[in-house]
Amino acid sequence: MTQKETISTGHTFELPAKLSASIVGAVFPADSGDVAALLPTGLEPIRATRTQAAVTVLAVSYDRVGDDTIDPYDEVGVLLPAVETGTRTWPYLSALRRGVSGYVYTLPVSTEQARAFGVDIWGYPKLVADIDLRDEGKTRHATVTADSRHVLSFEARRPPTVPAKLSGYNYTVKHDQLLREETRLSGRAGIWPRHRATLRFGAHPVGQHLAAVEIDDRPLYTVAASCDFKISAGSEARSQTLDDDEIQHS
């Protein structure tokens, strides 16, 4: 079923929203308690390793948004891989399945249209920022500055990709309600364990909050995709007592 949403800039989108993008990111092990403290009620961190949760950074360049509804833009998102409270997860396996899904903690974007697109429809925590995103060979570099203050710097080496179709969930909070948005990806995607990636946070308040999280320097894996994907309209998230495997294939 499709529906239409008109955002504050006057642009109208058909949902699920369709996008096309190039993505490079990394999933880093992180302290479980630190990650849990940043999650809203109703969510808990995945078990990325036997003792740790995870923090994921995705540097994304969009070349199509909707039916060319708004201009292409760049974003650098920080996600906290998480599940609804009571969901059983598994070390390492859940990191592979859910490493690029979870609660969207911050989502700097390069245009006001992009900010309104995410905030008005789903409550994504987007902020307009200066984003220097570039590729040098197989390495993607991204630096984010907002209000003249450094938010974060990230770089990761792009792993090989293969044809893939994947699905997952994002979580956001809109009007004090925890929402879940289904995502579906089709194109080329890949992961590479223990590949090279670096992450640094700056003096911007968002960067300072994330700098307080104990994050390993070496990622669990890096990810890349050149793909089309869809984001569904958000639905109310409800805590479930299910295995991660059951939810992934539901």
Round to whole Å and give the CA distance between 29 and 49: 7
> What range defines the domain where residue 197 resides?
13-240
**184 with 166: CB under 8 angstroms?**
yes
pLDDT tens-digit map of 53-76: 999 999 999 999 999 999 999 999
- For residues 70 and 245, which has the higher predicted lDDT (pLDDT)? 70
pLDDT tens-digit map of 105-118: 999 999 999 999 99
Render 149-171 in DSSP notation, one character per residue: EEEEEEEEEPPP-EEEEEEEEEE
Q: 38: closest CA among 94, 7, 80?
A: 80
Chain Cα centroid distance, residue 39:
14
Give pLDDT, residue 1: 64
CATH number at residue 216: 2.40.400.10
- Flag whether 247 is in a domain: no
Reported as a pLDDT band with limits 50, 70 and 90, residue 242 is very low
Tally the domains of the chain. Answer: 1
- Flag whether 248 is in a domain: no
- Flag whether 246 is in a domain: no
- Flag whether 2 is in a domain: no
Q: How far apart are the first and last CA of the chain?
A: 18
Round to whole Å and give the CA distance between 17 and 13: 7
- Flag whether 42 is in a domain: yes
